[in-house]
A and B are shown apart, each in its own frame.
Chain A
Amino acid sequence: MIMSNTAAGDQPRIGVFVCYCGRNIASKVDVEKVRQFAEKLPNVVVSRTYKFMCSDPGQEMIQQDIKELKLNRIVVASCSPLLHEPTFRRTCAAAGLNPFYFQMANIREQVSWVTADTVAATRKASALVAAAVSRVACHTSLEKKRVPVHADVMVVGAGISGIHAALLLANAGKKVYLVEREPSIGGHMAQLDKTFPTLDCSACILTPKMSEVKNHPNITCWTLSEVEEVSGFAGNFKIKVRRNPRYIKQELCVACGQCVDVCVFKEGKVLDDFNVGLSKHKPIYMPFPQATPACVLIDPTACLKLSRGKCAQRCVEACDRKAIDFEQQVIHEEVEVGAVIIATGYQMFDARKTPEYGYGKYLNVYTMMEVERLVNAAGPTQGEVIMRDGKTPKTVGIIHCVGSRDKRHHPYCSSVCCMAALKTAHLVREHTGALVFNFYIDMRTPLKGYEEFYDRVLQEGVQFVRGRVAEVTDWAVTPAEDGKLVIRVEDTLIGVARRIPVDMVILATAMEAHHDAAELQRRFNISCSKEGWFLERHPKLAPVSTFSDGIFLAGVCQGPKDIPGSVAQAGAAAAEALMLVDKGFVEIEPNSAWIDDEVCSGCKTCVPLCPFHAITYNAQDHVSVINEALCKGCGTCVASCPSGAAQQKLFTDEQIHQEIKGVLNYV
């Protein structure tokens, strides 16, 4: 199993460089002691320390030693390779040494930052340095492969984030596939009435962008569509998209609406998602007035013709353009793109999970999104705040943090609800003149114009009670409470438990990841955080890239944020995607597997194990062969090979064995 040392010819001459990292490492690890320890290890020619190894002088120190001491292997003991391995590899390359003759020992994230005892930390650091030194002696020179990339980009999700990213990329001359699950682009922003803090009409600022998307020659927009399968790698993704039928010939429909008028159903039948279930639409319907594409669609489960096969089909009669097509089928598209931006947004927390607030039990308890539709002139009540019992409220209670900041549901803060709740308070008061109470835990109004907006709403006479509402009940204790919804809350600023009777309760529900985010995550091979949001590569410095090269994130799908935050992030994602596809090539890390055909016995154990079908059996030569272009470098075949014929570059058996020996035999 152990292969001969593949270090080409020369005896390894190892330089070890131990970093103080200011006080980050030095506060727990005795850096000088580690340096002394490393000096005595086999093949080590020089052992040095420096305050900040990754800085220019630190890197120059390494380069100088490479040249003057003719070092041919470098070990840096500092932070995580996930952070600075590329940095130091570049350092080696610049000094003329193949960058893969380099190994890092992580003595910061995995030693100094997590160990209390300095003696133990120094021991652990020494062991890891010994491991790196032993391993690097077996490293060989390797070359990164360059693979050309596709210039096209896909954006998944066409809310404000997806739209903005798509427009930027299209304007940069790239062909963009914009894939949206709903029948129209626009996302949740299209449902809003006004946006804070300026109280701009949401549709007014969004629809020009939606229009631009529709008319842009570089954007291919597929609505009612979902990504089904993703394969390939950065720069060369093959993506299958399923385009569901709307049963209307999109290019013929002019959205005149006659088909909807004459539909055999006189009343709406299907709960209207756009109006958050507050109204119903007919089986044939226009999602909302400014829907883009401006085209109706048919719900196949509600339409009589499509579900039962029999209908008078008045819609077909009424359509001058002959746009209705009951035979329309699913279309499967397959495209090749260089990069993908995921901008799938969020869903709202189901308020029935907090039954203490009475949503679903009492008629006049609403979610904030429902109220957005009530106050909207194009909504189910034409902009009048009329409750389910037909009345207009005289007192309203808005409850913050429903589902957020709650150990039972979501521990995080949804970031935008305080501002949205202030906006709602303002709008409801404006429409009805009602007395409005906001029940909050903290007021979070940090960004431009937000604190000023809070002040304005205070001046307008909205009441604020600091306390987490315990319950909404219809139990009346006094005659004044009869017929009302009573909000029971501890007013923590005055230290009294209060009962506040209101006509209408509005719940500021949390933003949460889509219920099928985990599926999408697997399809794209990215990770999710604990709360279900897609995981960025680094929380501070890499908020739009993911651990899968070529896949970027934009908008709330990466974490709750407001519209300006989403737009900014979409711009960042577009820039990073452009960076990737404009370069023209990607460099593949050389950690793929190969099979030594002299050792391979043709047992074929490895062939079915490869999830990427990179291994084929050559019947003529009786050996298995790995296709380097398809191999992703997991090493599963290597582990299964009984003869050791399959090996992985950068992770050969010998290298790992030496690392094991090094980590145990000295400390």
Chain B
Amino acid sequence: MSKAIHLPLADNFEPRIVAFFCNWCTYTASDLAGISRMTYAPNTRVIRVMCSGRIEPQLLLAALREGADGVLIGGCHPGDCHYQAGNYKCLRRFKLLKKYLDQMGIEPQRVRLEWIAASEGDKVQKVTNEMTEQIRKLGPLKLTAIPKPPSHHQADQAPVCQGAVS
């Protein structure tokens, strides 16, 4: 399945972040950042959905499984969802997913949920730059390696992930 076409890579690790942006707020803000010619890190790859409520854990996990080093979700601010409450549903699912990822040993900074309004092009820039740097420091997500047990776990190591997460 992986047909990596090796375009020349920089010496440093370049994170690949899949971003799910909702159509009405975050995707529009992202366009606004472009119209305003704000420069930011090129490490996010945007997938447009109509509402952050469409986003389910399986999509996030699929992204990580396919090789993403991080996932960013962008939705409308609470109260401003174009479909009234989709963003709240997304938030609930996201919180649960974070707990699950923690158990898998995936660093919490790798998945991030942000509320970005249609006029907040600068926030798209800021969040993208911040997240890229954070993940650069964390390094690539190596799902097949045995992760070090998180400090708050006592004896048992976290389970090995072979990529069959769904």
Residues of A within 8 A of B (CB): 1, 37, 40, 80-83, 106, 108-111, 113-117, 119-124, 126-128, 131, 521-522, 525, 527-530, 535, 547-548, 591, 609, 611-612, 632-636, 638-640, 648, 651, 653, 656-657, 659-661, 663-667
Contacts and interface: CB of A to CB of B under 8 A. Distances in A.
B47 A131 contact: yes
Given A80-B31, A111-B42, A522-B80, 16 more contacts: A1-B166, A80-B34, A83-B31, A110-B31, A113-B35, A115-B40, A123-B7, A530-B117, A632-B83, A634-B54, A639-B90, A639-B93, A648-B54, A660-B62, A660-B66, A664-B16
B2 interface: yes
A68 B30 CA distance: 37
A114 B39 contact: yes
B47 A663 contact: yes
A342 B68 CA distance: 44
B101 interface: no
Interface stretch (B21-29, B102-110, B155-163): B21-29
Interface in B53-90: 53-56, 58-59, 62-63, 66-68, 79-80, 82-86, 89-90
A131 to B, nearest CB: 7
Contact of A664 (B56, B63, B86, B120): B63
Nearest to A639: B56
Q: Which of A114, A547, A639, A667: most chain B CB closer than 10 A?
A: A114
B136 interface: no
Contacts of B59: 656-657, 660
Nearest to B56: A639
A159 to B, nearest CB: 24
Contact of B46 (A110, A612, A640, A657): A110
Q: Which of A40, A120, A639, A661: most chain B CB closer than 10 A?
A: A639
A661 B18 CA distance: 10
Contacts of A108: 34
Nearest to A113: B34
A135 to B, nearest CB: 9
Given A114-B40, A527-B117, A665 B53 contact: no
A37 B3 CA distance: 12
B48 interface: yes
A659 B34 contact: no
B4 interface: yes
24 contacts: A82-B23, A82-B27, A108-B34, A115-B40, A121-B42, A122-B7, A123-B42, A126-B7, A527-B25, A529-B119, A530-B119, A530-B120, A612-B83, A634-B54, A634-B83, A636-B83, A636-B85, A636-B86, A648-B54, A651-B50, A651-B54, A660-B47, A664-B45, A666-B3
A106 B30 CA distance: 11
Contacts of B48: 81
B90 to A, nearest CB: 8
B55 A661 contact: no
Given A131-B47, A527-B119, A547-B82, A639 B54 contact: yes
B28 A82 contact: yes
A623 to B, nearest CB: 20
Contact of B50 (A111, A128, A634): A634
Given A127-B45, A525-B82, A634-B53, A535 B33 contact: no
A609 B89 contact: yes
A664 B18 contact: yes
B34 A663 contact: no
B93 A660 contact: no
A114 B37 contact: yes
Given A547-B24, A665-B4, A635 B45 contact: no
B135 interface: no
Nearest to B66: A664
Contacts of A535: 118-119
Given A639-B89, A657-B59, A665-B3, A115 B50 contact: no
Interface residues of B, number: 59
B166 to A, nearest CB: 7
B138 interface: no
Interface in B6-22: 7-8, 14, 16, 18
A527 B37 CA distance: 22
B96 interface: no
Contacts of A109: 30-31, 33-35
Nearest to B6: A667
Contacts of A114: 33-34, 37-40, 42, 125
Given A547-B28, A636-B86, A665-B1, A115 B39 contact: yes
B39 A657 contact: no
Q: Which of A81, A527, A530: most chain B CB closer than 10 A?
A: A527
Nearest to B33: A114
Contacts of A124: 42, 45
A1 B57 CA distance: 12
B165 interface: no
Contacts of A116: 39
Contacts of A648: 50, 54
Given A82-B31, A113-B34, A666 B46 contact: no
Q: Which of B25, B34, B48, B86: most chain A CB closer than 10 A?
A: B34
Contacts of B127: none
B111 interface: no
Given A535-B119, A660-B63, A591 B50 contact: yes
Q: Which of B3, B31, B53, B120: most chain A CB closer than 10 A?
A: B31
A163 to B, nearest CB: 29
B49 interface: yes
Contacts of B14: 120
A660 B18 contact: yes
B5 interface: yes
Nearest to A589: B50
Contacts of A530: 117, 119-120
Contacts of A638: 54, 56
Q: Which of A80, A528, A535, A634: most chain B CB closer than 10 A?
A: A634
A115 B58 CA distance: 30
Nearest to A522: B79
Contact of A1 (B4, B33, B58, B80): B58
Given A82-B31, A527-B25, A634-B86, A639 B55 contact: yes
B131 interface: no
B51 A636 contact: yes
A1 B85 CA distance: 25
A528 B79 CA distance: 12
A507 B63 CA distance: 57
B142 to A, nearest CB: 15
B49 A119 contact: no
Contacts of A667: 5, 7
Contacts of B93: 639
A1 B61 CA distance: 13
Contacts of B53: 634-636, 639
A547 B7 contact: no
B37 to A, nearest CB: 6
Contacts of B42: 111, 114-115, 117, 120-121, 123-124
